[in-house]
Amino acid sequence: MKSIITIGLILMSTLSFAQKKHWTNGLGEKTKKNIATKYYTVTKNKPNKNYIVKTYNKATTNLIESTSYLTKKKLIKEGDYVSYYENKNIMDKGTYLNNLKEGTWTTYTNDSKLQSIINYSKDKKDGLYEFHSLNGYSKGFYSLNKKVKEWAFYNKEGVLYQKINYKNDLQDGELTTFYPNGNIKEVLLYKQGKFKKILKRLDINGNEIKEELEEDSTLYTIVEEQPEFPGGARAMMKFLAESTKYPRQAIENGIQGRVYISFVVEKDGALSEVQNAAPKRRVHKTLEKEAIRVVKSMPKWKPGRQRGKAVRVKYTVPINFKIR
């Protein structure tokens, strides 16, 4: 009689732990078993009275994620969250509070290497941040989704190569660059995201470089402060519209199209090397000739600047010819 009772208890215990499967598609929407790609189970977590929802891959039955909810209907995430790669290694791990990320969240690569550490406060990055990639890693601080304090950047060998100070998500303070041997290479000063001046420049042995021996004749395409037509982009478009004369030959032959003209904004704002930027896509020689003429007639621009100094910048402007 005792053995029969024992068997009955074991059977009841097995039934109590059986999990009902809820079949879903890739978006987590309930669907029929024969077309489902995933399924989930719901378990009551008695200590804190919430519900643990575990999602599985239908084909492999491998666990995809485990999420804690306040209610059985999966409305509000509350508690631990873990997601997994198909090889069963952890992908993401963290905690939700009232449906928002809270505290420290960690992310790993599929071979279990640390990828990131992010701290959250009500779903916003807040606190220590660390990110790893194949090229190295960086670490710094956020305050409600904005970069603050000192950020450090390391190469894949773990050698520090740059430090940047931030305030309200903008570079503010010193930006220090290092040589591979750890010596300081350069210290720049930024204020509210804008470069102000070079504080010091050193050679690899730590000796201060007093002055640049050669004038910078580099031709840039992207700089910290882009060159600008007097009055800005809107003033430039108005100038082009008023100054461009549609060639009569092109009108008579119904020729229209867009011509891209490239030029160099010199350090003093003058324009040089004005030419067709895409000669292989030539629309018509009369349109090209007029576009070049108009660009050459432009007044001096505000020159581009890199690290506080005026530099040569290559620029391209599209001029559209359309018969109305």
Give per-residue pLDDT as tens, 20-50.
888 888 777 888 888 888 888 998 887 778 8
What is the rounded distance in angstroms from the CA atom of residue 153 to the CA atom of residue 176? 10
* 110 vs 118, more confident: 118
Which tokens in the block code for residue 270?
Answer: 């003058």
Per-residue pLDDT at 110 exceeds 90: no
Same-domain pairing of 93 and 171: no
Q: Are 295 and 317 in contact (CB under 8 A)?
A: yes
Residue 11 placed within a domain: no
Side chain identity at residue 4, one-letter code: I
Residue 30 placed within a domain: yes
Confidence band, pLDDT 50/70/90 cuts, at residue 295: very high
* Kind of pairing between the strands at 194-201 and 219-220: unpaired
Would you call 229 exposed, middle or buried from its count of C-beta atoms within 10 A (0-12, 13-18, 19+)?
Answer: buried
Same-domain pairing of 165 and 110: no
Same-domain pairing of 257 and 310: yes
The enclosing domain of 241 has a CATH number of 3.30.2420
Same-domain pairing of 251 and 207: no
Count of beta carbons in the 10 Å neighbourhood of residue 8: 10
Per-residue pLDDT at 9 exceeds 60: no
User: What is the domain range of residue 288?
Assistant: 233-321
**pLDDT tens-place string over residues 241-286:** 999 999 988 888 888 888 889 999 999 999 999 999 877 777 788 9
Residue 10 placed within a domain: no
Confidence band, pLDDT 50/70/90 cuts, at residue 209: confident
pLDDT given at position 215: 52
**pLDDT tens-place string over residues 126-171:** 999 999 988 889 999 999 999 999 999 999 899 999 999 999 999 9
Average pLDDT, the chain: 87
Residue 132 placed within a domain: no
* Kind of pairing between the strands at 257-265 and 271-276: antiparallel
Which helix (DSSP H) or strand (DSSP E) does residue 293 occupy?
A: helix 285-296
Residues 6+ apart with CB under 8 A from 248: none
Same-domain pairing of 41 and 102: yes
Q: Are 22 and 30 in contact (CB under 8 A)?
A: yes
pLDDT given at position 6: 45
Same-domain pairing of 207 and 240: no
Contacts 24+ apart (CB under 8 A), 246-252: 246/290, 246/321, 246/323, 247/286, 247/287, 247/289, 247/290, 249/286, 250/284, 250/286, 250/287, 250/321, 251/323
Confidence band, pLDDT 50/70/90 cuts, at residue 306: confident
Single out the residue of 170, 129, 169 nearest to residue 153, CA to CA: 129
Which tokens in the block code for residue 11?
Answer: 């059977």
What is the rounded distance in angstroms from the CA atom of residue 301 to the CA atom of residue 246? 25
Same-domain pairing of 30 and 93: yes
pLDDT given at position 239: 94
Residue 303 placed within a domain: yes
Q: Are 228 and 301 in contact (CB under 8 A)?
A: yes
pLDDT given at position 16: 41
Number of domains in the chain: 3
pLDDT given at position 18: 55
Would you call 227 exposed, middle or buried from its count of C-beta atoms within 10 A (0-12, 13-18, 19+)?
Answer: buried
Residue 141 placed within a domain: no
Looking up tokens 């791990």 gives 93
Residue 135 placed within a domain: no
CA 255 to chain centre: 42
Same-domain pairing of 117 and 169: no
